[in-house]
Amino acid sequence: MQLKNMGLLYRPRRLRNSELLRSLVRETIITKDDFIYPLFVAAGKGIEKEISSMPGIFQRSIDRLGPEIDELLKIGVPRVILFGIPEQKDEIGSDSFSDEGIIQQATRYLKSQYPELMVITDVCMCEYTDHGHCGIIHEGDVHNDTTLHYLQKQVVSHARAGVDMVAPSGMMDGMVSAIREALDEEGFEQIPIMSYSVKYASAFYGPFRDAAESAPRFGDRKRYQMDSANMLEGLREVELDIDEGADIVMVKPALSYLDVIAQVRAVTNLPVACYNVSGEYSMVKAAAEKGWIDGEKVMMEMLLSMKRAGADIIITYFAKEAAGLL
């Protein structure tokens, strides 16, 4: 049969005939070095509590972190981001900037016992305030500039504890500039900032609020986190953070915002991170448990989409599982 006049002189399928061919021409590749693994560190001792809405993810006290870190290092994931669950919360989140706070203690422990581990700390107030909001409340709302002062105190305490990088997540205007100034003034100019530059007020955060015990006690976070409908606003946020000294910019969540990741990638040469958030993780786990999907394949396809969209770094609860398949 003559096919030359049917547009079939070039057959894309030729390069799909075997895995050796497919891997040879593969455009996007995920590696273990793309991943950061979140850890939830709880005050106290002997704590190893699985989060009901996030199967396989635990709150752990410092004395129970060792086996988890050993496993991460063994499978080749030497980067973690810490979230704290303090023993007590108050209106100004005192534990967040105390040198004896849960994150500060955990950082000192990890850096002393595992010097090869990269420790990143989430910088926010929501996990430490009794009202669950990301800053200091004044007249029923988070007061932006007062909050900046407390974020400065927080990052300096993290730096003294030995952190490798800080990651401000509260979406306060000017937070990167304030944090850079505080770190530099205290002699920590070498510590980079990975800013949650584009963080949406998303319904995908639900399970995280169980994990970090950080649900707001009143209202919501729409007055400081971004409207899900907006992209251009996110690009302005990225531009501001870059001007203020961010070393890495982030989009959160990831899966429903792949278009935003791609646009951020197009406007900056800085490394771009994304956060594969708790709701994205839990949906896959729940559907896989029901037998509706192949959880491993969906996980890898999801992570691949984030990398393909332009993310250099993926914060993900799947890091251990995915690394085991790479």
Please give the Cα distance from 326 to 310 (Å, whole number).
Answer: 20
Are the beta carbons of 323 and 32 closer than 8 angstroms? yes
- Catalytic residue (choose from 74, 153, 252, 297): 252
**What are the structure tokens assigned to 291, written together?**
């037998």
Number of domains forming the structure of the chain: 1
Contact present, 260 and 309 (Cβ < 8 Å): no
252 is catalytic: yes
Give residue 210's domain range: 28-325
Could you confirm whether 297 is annotated as catalytic?
no
How large is the average pLDDT for residues 241-266? 97
Question: Which of 6-20, 38-52, 245-259 is least confident?
Answer: 6-20
Q: Which whole-number Å values give the CA distances from 266 to 109, 235, 247, 263, in the listed order?
A: 39, 10, 16, 5
Active-site residue identified among 4, 32, 45, 199 = 199
Higher pLDDT, residue 258 or 214: 258
For residue 135, is it within any domain? yes
Inform me whether the pLDDT recorded for 189 exceeds 90. yes
**Does 271 reside within a domain?**
yes
pLDDT higher for 225 or 26? Answer: 26
| 36 is a domain residue | yes
Residue 297 lies in a domain: yes
Q: What are phi and psi of 160, to 5 degrees?
A: -60, -30
pTM, entire model? 0.93
Which tens digit of pLDDT belongs to each residue from 52-104? 999 999 999 999 999 999 999 999 999 999 999 998 888 898 899 899 999 99
Quick check: is 115 in a domain? yes
| In the predicted structure, residue 133 carries a pLDDT above the cut 80 | no
CATH number for position 267:
3.20.20.70
Q: Does residue 1 form part of some domain? A: no
**Are 86 and 128 contacting, i.e. CB atoms less than 8 angstroms apart?**
yes
Res 31 pLDDT > 80 = yes
Residue 264 CA: distances (Å) to CA of 35, 65, 247, 302, 316: 19, 35, 14, 19, 19
Residue of 215, 175, 214 whose CA lies nearest to 197: 175
